[in-house]
């Protein structure tokens, strides 16, 4: 999985992205380029602004300054449903599902309806149901189709969230701590899913604290500290960069 | 000209009371993200208590503050701890509105039960006294009410700015998670925040009782303008609320000249709609307001 | 099996509604029936925004009141056919709801509630003060759609059925939205608005549409009430209390179920009318209303229907068909297996 650097296309890219809350600058002029078709990792110590960065580029919050582009299209400050329509799907740090809707209903939320007729048509379109069941089977929770999401275990909810994001068929998937709070077997399952999906052409941008996972999974690593990129490169290079050690150990 | 001046002075006096009450409403919203519909019901309750106190003891209604302020503070703390904190965080905003709304209805009903719907007014020896200032005629009671509100607001401001508790409270308003991380017991702070908010209603109620006729359903006339004020000021911002209260109070008072009392009231609602259309985060609001 | 019993229940309810006017012993009981029907229409209409999006409006009396006045004034001022006036009133109110919705739904939660209450208060002020047009505090007499030769009980009966038809249309619309993609998006907004938007749901537009539909049906309910009752007083039309009845009814019955608001309307409406008849208009009303609402919010926010159906499910294993039980059990077994798999990763390899 070495980067042959032949034709690295930019996927999501930001220039000088900045967001502060009151007196705290969470993202401070972040200029980052993620690679299309690859598994990108975004790492950094706690509070280095990774999640705020995610929220800024996906339209959950408006950045104070800077620009974000996705495959050349400007997405700065766009509402999150518009960002989603450009082909970016995302998960949340503490996994978020719709608790009092069934697993199947959770899946159907992401189905895009272009016309008024389709909006008013029954949500239980056989084709979409089949696709949803296929994705649920893929993450391994198809037997829970009729359960309410709040009755699922945390791990199952994480899988449901991932399947729900896939339902919108995004080109790029941003995962915020996919391995957070789940057991090792499930981490393996999620890692395999990411690999398979990447092989099928999906780009990933993953925020993760589990370094083994980051190193084994990703092609390209971006390291954040205090709201901006301090270094980037393939995992093997980043691992040995003194700036990264400094950021993590605070030397 | 003197009519205009008169209205200006009355507007400032009214704005002071609005500012105090709006500050209370902002406190609840700040610490708990709760829109406290019952705020003005407690205001009227305090006014009734002041009236009842004067009627039974013959003492000055302001002495009732010694009882109502601690009482209301206590009720506020208890209400936050026992009722509001029971609600699920996911639906807190909506359910707390309903809960405080139901408290408002209950208070209104109980007041009607205890004191009937008859309009009440405190008879004060200095009730009819006025004095002239710059050619404007001002009732002494209005000035007392304003001073009461201004002093309380000043005290509240000092409490928030200068004390350690005030710092904890502001931290809780601005960023609850961060406040918890630095060791602030945000639950307790939220409880005290509620108590403080309700204490402003106690003071405001007494001030109101000095120069107004009161009746149980009067609180609906207060909650609308107060909510308009906190939205215009920017939800969660106490200085914003105070400034908006002054501006809107003055506006109402001035508009009364050409429009009359009733239509002048609509000024608040027009300001509310205009704010939400043009600047939904309010005119002085910070980060908080963006998401509510 | 389940759908069969549902159909049976629906049939029984329809039969009861059809038979009610004949069973009612006197005109008074019949008029109570009309009032409860009217509440059912209003609560169901409220539930388009409350149930789907989770946004609680305390001021829906604004739309029923506007619908009532629009209908009455159109009939009086233009001599329009009363039923056309009702429909036109509904459309006017829906158009009015668009800017209100834009102002109050762009930001989250709190502003919506504040605007909803403010709107009732402002309309009360305006309709009381603008005496030359609205009749002011003296009220507005609305001409009856049926001639004077139609006697009172007959009037009640006709309006009972007319309200029932309106209710049926509202329920049907709610049901259609509930099963549509639009409805799925709305429910997602209720559960987690940010998450829904991140999945591509245009949350603001969805909320706005649900809100306008809700205002439309509420206005129709108000308009029909105006034609039945024949007299409008701003104090009762733009009353915070009426708005809170709609909330209490929907919440008590269950805002996430189709028939929840109807059930709530029957219970609360009956109780309100009973107390009015027994004790007249006293302050006790407010206290009872306040306490009941607080109890529901604190202890039964999901309402009666979900609580009852989960209770029923617990006691009905034998009643269900055998296949259903095994399917459920299978799911249960699988679920516990999946849980076990998660807790003990070691066994996973062994099981394969």
Task: Specify the pLDDT at position C308.
Answer: 83
* CA-based nearest residue to C273, from C260, C285, C286, C261: C285
Q: Which residue has the higher pLDDT, C40 or C326?
A: C40
Predicted pLDDT of residue C276: 81
Rounded Cα–Cα distance for residues C180 and A125 (Å)? 10
Q: Which of A105, A120, A164 sits opposite C182 (nearest CB)?
A: A120
Task: Measure the CA–CA gap between B19 and B38, rounded to whole angstroms.
Answer: 17
Q: Is the pLDDT of residue A3 over 50?
A: no
Report, as an integer, the average pLDDT of A110-135. 86
Who contacts A185 (Cβ-Cβ below 8 Å, separation ≥6)? C341, C342, C345, C348
Query: CA A248, CA B184: separation in Å to the nearest integer?
Result: 27
pLDDT grade, residue B92 (50/70/90)? Answer: confident
Predicted local confidence at residue A20, as pLDDT:
83
Band the pLDDT of A23: cuts 50, 70, 90. low
User: Three-state DSSP class for B121?
Assistant: coil
Q: Assign B285 a pLDDT band (cuts: 50, 70, 90).
A: low
C235 at interface of B, judged by CB pairs closer than 8 A: no
Has residue A61 got a pLDDT over 70?
yes
pLDDT at C336 over 70: no
Which DSSP letter does residue B61 get?
Answer: G
Q: What is the mean pLDDT of residues A172-190?
A: 90
Q: What is the pLDDT of residue C4?
A: 83
For residue B36, the 8-state DSSP code is -
Mean pLDDT of chain C: 85
pTM of the model: 0.89
| B222 in C contact zone (CB under 8 Å) | no
DSSP symbols for A52-103: HHHHHHTTSS--SEEEEEETTEE-TT--HHHHHHTTEEE--SS----TTSBH
Out of 2.60.260.20, 3.40.50.300, 3.40.50.80, 3.20.20.140, select the CATH number for domain A10-249. Answer: 3.40.50.300
Q: Is residue C324 predicted with pLDDT exceeding 60?
A: no
Computed over every residue of chain B, the mean pLDDT equals 86
Interface residue of B22, B26, B82, B224 to substitute, partner C, most C CBs within 10 Å: B224
* Cβ–Cβ < 8 Å for C31, C207: no
Are C293 and B101 a contacting pair at CB < 8 A? yes
CA distance C28 to C33: 9
In angstroms, the Cα distances linking C58 to B95, B97, B214 are 11, 9, 24
* Cβ proximity of C37 and C162 under 8 Å: no
Q: Which of B46-50, C148-152, C267-271 has the lowest mean pLDDT?
A: C148-152
Do β-strands A203-207 and A39-43 pair in parallel, antiparallel, or remain unpaired? parallel
pLDDT at site A212:
87
Q: Does A185 touch chain C (CB under 8 A)?
A: yes
For the residues of chain A, what is the DSSP string, one character each?
-----SS--EEEEEEEEEEEETTEEEEEEEEEEEETTSEEEEE-STTSSHHHHHHHHTTSS--SEEEEEETTEE-TT--HHHHHHTTEEE--SS----TTSBHHHHHHTT----SHHHHHSBS--HHHHHHHHHHHHHHT-GGGTTSBGGGS-HHHHHHHHHHHHHHT--SEEEEE-TTTT--HHHHHHHHHHHHHHHHTT-EEEEE-S-HHHHHHH-SEEEEEETTEEEEEE-HHHHHT-HHHHHHHHT-
**Rounded-to-integer distance, Cα A165 and Cα A91, Å:** 7
Name the token pair of A146. Answer: 């009729």
pLDDT score recorded for residue A250: 62
User: Domain for residue B186, yes or no?
Assistant: yes
Positive or negative torsion for Cα C183, C184, C185, C186: positive
One-character DSSP codes across B7-28: HHHHHHHHHHHHHHHHHHHHHH
Q: How confident is residue A75, by pLDDT bands cut at 50, 70 and 90?
A: very high
Which residues of C are less than 8 Å from B281 in CB distance? 107
User: What's the gap in Å between the CA of C175 and the closest CA on chain B?
Assistant: 24
**Could A101 and C335 be called an inter-chain contact, meaning their C-beta atoms sit closer than 8 Å?**
no
Per-residue pLDDT for B143 more than 60? yes
Q: Give mean pLDDT, residues C304-316.
A: 78
- Residue A220 CA to residue A41 CA, distance in Å, equals 6
Report the C-alpha gap between B126 and B145 in whole angstroms: 13
Determine what percent of chain A is predicted with pLDDT higher than 90: 55
Query: Cα C4 from chain centroid?
Result: 26
Measured between beta carbons, the chain B residues lying within 8 angstroms of A22 are: 174-175, 286-287
Q: In sequence order, which residues have a C-beta less than 8 Å from that of residue A145 and are 6 or more positions away? A: A102, A103, A104, A133, A136
pLDDT at position A201 over 70: yes
- How many contacts does B have with C, using Cβ atoms within 8 A? 151
Pairing of strands A172-176, A88-90: parallel
The answer, yes or no, to whether residue C41 has pLDDT greater than 90, is yes
Q: Which chains touch B (3+ CB pairs under 8 A)? A: A, C
- Give B-chain residues touching C119 at CB under 8 angstroms: 269
Helix (H) or strand (E) holding C141: strand C140-141
Classify strands A220-225 and A203-207 as parallel, antiparallel or unpaired.
Answer: unpaired
Please state whether beta strands A228-233 and A220-225 pair in parallel, antiparallel, or not at all (unpaired). antiparallel
The per-residue pLDDT for C5 is 83
Residues in B closer than 8 angstroms to A93, CB to CB, are none
Inter-chain touch A80–C198, beta carbons under 8 Å: yes
Report the range out of B54-58, B235-239, C169-173 with the highest average pLDDT: C169-173
Q: Is the pLDDT of residue B288 over 70?
A: no
Q: Smallest Cβ distance to A183: which of C188, C191, C345? A: C345
Smallest CA-to-CA distance from C227 within C352, C71, C113, C334 is with C71
For every residue of A18-38, DSSP letters joined together read EEEETTEEEEEEEEEEEETTS
Q: Do B112 and C286 touch (CB under 8 A)?
A: yes
The whole domain housing B95 covers: 14-216
User: Inter-chain contact A81–C201, Cβ cutoff 8 Å?
Assistant: yes
Q: Does any CB of chain B come closer than 8 Å to the CB of residue A96?
A: no
Q: Work out the average pLDDT over B261-266.
A: 83
pLDDT of residue C343: 38
Q: What angle do CA B242, B243, B247 make, to 5 degrees?
A: 120
**C320-335 mean pLDDT:** 44
What does the pLDDT average to over B139-145? 86
What is the reported pLDDT for A103? 95
Interface predicted TM-score of the whole assembly (ipTM), two decimals:
0.89
The whole-number average pLDDT for the span A171-181 is 91
- Bridge partners of A65? A18
Percent of residues, chain B, with pLDDT higher than 70: 97
CB interface of B with C, residues 245-284, below 8 Å: 262-263, 265-266, 268-269, 272-273, 276-277, 280-281
Among A93-107, B26-40, C295-309, C314-328, the range scoring the smallest mean pLDDT is: C314-328
On whether any CB of chain C is under 8 Å from the CB of B167, the answer is no
Range C170-177 average pLDDT = 96
- The answer to whether C210 contacts chain A (CB < 8 Å) is no
Q: What is the pLDDT of residues A222-232, one digit of tens each?
A: 999 888 898 89
Which of the four pLDDT bands, split at 50, 70 and 90, describes residue C351? very low
| Rounded Cα gap, residues A245 and B203, in angstroms | 58
**What pLDDT is stored for residue C23 in this prediction?**
87
For A14, phi then psi, to 5°, come to -125, 150
Which residues share a beta bridge with A27?
A19
**Neighboring chain B residues of C192 at a CB cutoff of 8 Å:** 90
Q: Kindly list the distances between the CA atom of residue A66 and the CA atoms of A71, A229, C88, C257, in Å, as whole numbers in the listed order.
A: 16, 14, 49, 46
Reported confidence tier of residue C302, pLDDT bands at 50, 70, 90: confident
Interface test with B, best of A19, A20, A22 (most B CBs within 10 A): A22
Alpha helices for C54-151 (secondary structure H): 61-78, 82-105, 110-129, 131-134
Res A22: pLDDT: 65
B126 touches chain C (CB under 8 A): no
From chain A, the residues in CB contact with B90 under 8 A are 99
Residues 36-55 of B with CB under 8 A from C: 37
The reported pLDDT for the residue numbered B286 is: 52
Nearest Cα residue to A214 out of A238, A230, A248: A238
Task: Tell me chain A's radius of gyration from C-alpha atoms.
Answer: 18
Which of A105, A119, A158, A187 has the most C C-beta neighbours within 10 Å, making it the best mutation to test the interface with C?
A: A119
Q: CB of C218 within 8 A of CB of C63?
A: yes
User: β-strand A220-225 against A39-43: which pairing, if any?
Assistant: parallel
Distance from chain centroid for Cα A211: 17
Q: What is the pLDDT of residues C246-263, one digit of tens each?
A: 999 999 999 999 999 999
C317 pLDDT tier (thresholds 50, 70, 90): low
> For residue C239, is pLDDT > 50?
yes
Q: Which pLDDT tens digit goes with each residue over A204-215?
A: 999 998 888 888
CATH code given to domain C26-313: 1.10.3470
pLDDT, tens digit, 9 for 90 and up, residues C56-113: 999 999 999 999 999 999 999 998 999 999 999 999 999 999 999 998 898 777 889 8
Measured CA to CA, the distance from residue B23 to residue B235 in angstroms comes to 10
Distance CA C347, CA C352 (A): 9
| Domain boundaries of chain A, sorted by first residue | 10-249
Q: What confidence score (pLDDT) does residue A46 get?
A: 83
Closest CA in chain A for residue C184:
A109
Q: Cα A139 to the chain's mean position, in Å? A: 16
Q: DSSP letter for C319, please.
A: T
Helix or strand or coil: residue C324? helix
C234 touches chain B (CB under 8 A): no
Residue C95: predicted pLDDT: 97
Residue A147 tokens read as: 């359960």
pLDDT confidence tier of residue A8, bands split at 50, 70 and 90 = confident
Q: How far is B292 from chain C (nearest CA, A)?
A: 4
Beta bridge partner(s), residue C140: C232
**Rounded Cα–Cα distance for residues B27 and B35 (Å):** 10
Q: Among A80, A111, A144, whose Cβ lies nearest the Cβ of C181?
A: A111
Phi, psi at A157, each rounded to 5°: -65, -40
Residue B185 has pLDDT above 60, yes or no: yes
From residue A6, how far is each of A70, A84, A232 by CA, in Å?
21, 29, 18
What's the gap in Å between the CA of C296 and the closest CA on chain B? 9
Domain range annotation of chain C: 26-313, 323-351
Q: What is the mean pLDDT of residues A228-241?
A: 87
* Better pLDDT: A205 or A179: A205
Say what the pLDDT of residue C75 is.
Answer: 94
The pair of three-digit structure tokens given for residue B152, joined into one six-digit string: 């309380």
Q: What's the confidence (pLDDT) of residue C202?
A: 93
């Amino acid at each position: 999985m070495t980067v042959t650097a032949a034709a690295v296309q930019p996927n999501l890219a930001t220039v000088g992205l900045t967001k502060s809350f009151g007196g705290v600058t969470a993202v401070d002029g972040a200029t980052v380029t993620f690679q299309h078709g690859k598994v990108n990792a975004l790492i950094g110590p706690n509070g280095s602004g990774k999640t705020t960065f995610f929220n800024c580029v996906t339209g959950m919050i408006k950045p104070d300054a800077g620009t974000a582009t996705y495959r050349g299209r400007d997405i700065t400050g766009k509402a999150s449903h518009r960002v989603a329509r450009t082909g970016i799907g995302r998960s949340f740090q503490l996994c978020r599902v719709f608790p009092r809707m069934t697993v199947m209903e959770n899946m159907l939320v992401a189905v895009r309806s272009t016309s008024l007729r389709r909006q008013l048509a029954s949500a239980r379109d056989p084709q979409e149901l089949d696709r949803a069941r296929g994705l649920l089977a893929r993450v391994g929770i198809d037997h829970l189709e009729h359960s309410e999401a709040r009755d699922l275990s945390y791990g199952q909810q994480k899988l449901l969230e991932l399947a729900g994001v896939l339902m919108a068929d995004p080109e790029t998937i941003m995962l915020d701590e996919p391995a957070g709070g789940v057991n090792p077997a499930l981490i393996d399952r999620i890692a395999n899913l990411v690999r398979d999906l990447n092989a099928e052409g999906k780009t990933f941008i993953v925020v993760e604290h589990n370094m083994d996972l980051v190193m084994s999974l990703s092609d390209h690593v971006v390291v954040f500290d205090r709201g901006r990129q301090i270094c980037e490169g393939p995992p093997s290079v980043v691992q040995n960069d003194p700036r990264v050690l400094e950021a993590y150990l605070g030397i | 000209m003197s009519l205009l001046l008169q209205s200006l002075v009355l507007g400032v006096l009214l704005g002071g009371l609005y500012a105090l009450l709006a500050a209370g409403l902002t406190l609840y919203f700040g610490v708990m993200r709760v829109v406290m519909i019952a705020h003005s019901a407690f205001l009227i309750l305090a006014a009734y208590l002041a009236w009842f106190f004067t009627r039974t003891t013959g003492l000055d209604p302001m002495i009732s503050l010694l009882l109502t302020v601690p009482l209301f503070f206590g009720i506020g703390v208890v209400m936050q701890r026992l009722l509001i904190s029971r609600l699920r965080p996911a639906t807190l905003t909506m359910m707390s509105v309903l809960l405080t709304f139901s408290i408002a209805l209950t208070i209104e009903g109980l007041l009607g039960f205890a004191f009937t719907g008859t309009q009440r007014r405190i008879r004060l020896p200095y009730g009819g006294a006025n004095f002239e200032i710059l050619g404007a005629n001002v009732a002494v009671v209005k000035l007392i009410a304003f001073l009461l509100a201004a002093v309380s607001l000043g005290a509240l401001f000092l409490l928030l700015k200068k004390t350690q508790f005030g710092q904890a409270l502001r931290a809780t308003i601005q960023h609850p998670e961060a406040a918890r991380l630095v060791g602030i017991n945000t639950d307790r702070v939220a409880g005290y925040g509620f108590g403080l908010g309700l204490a402003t209603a106690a003071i405001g109620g007494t001030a109101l009782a000095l120069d107004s006729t009161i009746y149980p359903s009067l609180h609906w006339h207060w909650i609308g303008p107060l909510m308009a004020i906190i939205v215009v000021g920017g939800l969660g911002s106490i200085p914003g609320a105070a400034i908006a209260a002054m501006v809107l109070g003055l506006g109402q008072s001035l508009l009364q000249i050409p429009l009359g009392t009733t239509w002048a009231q609509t000024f608040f609602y027009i300001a509310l709609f205009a704010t939400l259309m043009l600047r939904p985060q309010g005119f002085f609001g910070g980060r908080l307001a963006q998401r509510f | 099996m389940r759908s069969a019993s549902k159909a049976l229940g629906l049939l029984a309810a329809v039969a009861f509604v059809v038979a009610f006017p004949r069973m009612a012993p006197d005109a008074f009981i019949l008029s109570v029936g009309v009032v409860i029907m009217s509440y059912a229409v209003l609560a169901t209409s409220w539930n388009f925004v409350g149930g789907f999006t989770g946004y609680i409006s305390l001021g829906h009396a604004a739309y029923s009141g506007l619908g009532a006045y629009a209908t009455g004034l159109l009939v009086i001022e233009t001599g329009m056919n009363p039923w056309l006036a009702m429909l036109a009133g509904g459309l006017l109110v829906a158009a009015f709801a668009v800017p209100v919705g834009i102002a109050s739904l762009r930001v989250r939660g709190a502003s919506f509630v504040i605007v909803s209450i403010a709107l009732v208060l402002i309309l009360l002020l305006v309709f009381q003060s603008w005496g030359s047009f609205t009749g002011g505090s003296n009220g507005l007499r609305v001409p009856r759609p049926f001639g004077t030769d139609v006697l009172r009980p007959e009037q009640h009966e006709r309006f009972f059925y007319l309200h029932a038809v309106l209710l049926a249309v509202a329920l049907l619309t709610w049901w259609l939205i509930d099963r549509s993609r639009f409805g799925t998006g709305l429910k997602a907004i209720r559960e987690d608005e940010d998450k829904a938007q991140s999945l591509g749901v245009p949350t603001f537009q969805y909320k706005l549409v649900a809100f306008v539909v809700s205002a439309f049906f509420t206005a129709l309910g108000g308009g029909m009430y105006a034609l039945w009752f024949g007299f409008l007083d701003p104090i009762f039309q733009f009353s915070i209390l009426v708005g809170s009845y709609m909330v209490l009814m929907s919440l008590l019955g269950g805002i996430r179920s189709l028939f929840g608001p109807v059930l709530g309307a029957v219970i609360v409406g009956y109780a309100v009318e009973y107390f009015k008849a027994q004790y007249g208009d006293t302050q006790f009303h407010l206290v009872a209303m306040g306490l009941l609402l607080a109890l529901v919010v604190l202890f039964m926010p999901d309402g009666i229907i979900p609580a009852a159906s989960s209770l029923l499910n617990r006691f009905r294993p034998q009643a269900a068909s055998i296949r259903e039980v095994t399917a459920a059990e299978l799911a249960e077994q699988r679920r516990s297996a999946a849980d076990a798999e998660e807790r003990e990763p070691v066994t996973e390899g062994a099981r394969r």
